[in-house]
């Protein structure tokens, strides 16, 4: 079974500092996308960043970047210059494989990020 594992139930960071959230996944596919979503207290899921597996360059979106290690099946999220508004639950997600998957996503259990002023 394909799984997504987030081993850090909770993380904390001081405002303006950097934090890294971990994610590992299991797949036999060679080309796929990986996602990080943010769920703030409002509970709406917001796409943070997306990585295409066949691209060696790590994706970056402003203060958010990923460290994608394909061989290790690791996909961590780095948040630089953390802001109070970054406090949220973060989910790593991976699409189920197969031609009829229709983009069904498997989510990790989430990491609660606390940002201290």
Partner 1 sequence: SQTIHQWPATLVQPVGSPLSLECTVEGTSNPNLYWYRQAAGRGLQLLFYSVGIGQISSEVPQNLSASRPQDRQFILSSKKLLLSDSGFYLCAWSPRSSSTDTQYFGPGTRLTVL
- The residue from 35, 36, 68, 90 that contacts partner 1 (CB under 8 A) is 35
Q: Considering the complex, what minimum distance in angstroms separates the CB of residue 101 from partner 1?
A: 8
Say if residues 78 and 18 touch (Cβ distance below 8 Å).
Answer: yes
Whole-angstrom Cα Rg for the chain: 14
In angstroms, the CA 76 to CA 94 distance is 13
* Residue 14 or 109 having the CB closest to partner 1: 109
* Residue 37 or 82 having the CB closest to partner 1: 37
* Stretch of residues binding partner 1 (CB under 8 A), selected from 18-26, 28-36, 57-65, 68-76: 28-36
């Amino acid at each position: 079974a394909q799984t997504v594992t987030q081993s850090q139930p909770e993380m904390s960071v001081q405002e303006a500092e950097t934090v890294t959230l971990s994610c590992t996944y299991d797949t036999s596919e060679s080309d796929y996308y990986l996602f990080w979503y943010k769920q703030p207290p409002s509970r709406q899921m917001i796409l943070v960043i997306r990585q295409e597996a066949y691209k060696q360059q790590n994706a970056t979106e402003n203060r958010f970047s990923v460290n994608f290690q394909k061989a290790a099946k690791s996909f961590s999220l780095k948040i630089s210059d953390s802001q109070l508004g970054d406090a949220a639950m973060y989910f790593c997600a991976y699409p189920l494989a197969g031609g009829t998957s229709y983009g069904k996503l498997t989510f990790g259990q989430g990491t609660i990020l606390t940002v201290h002023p």
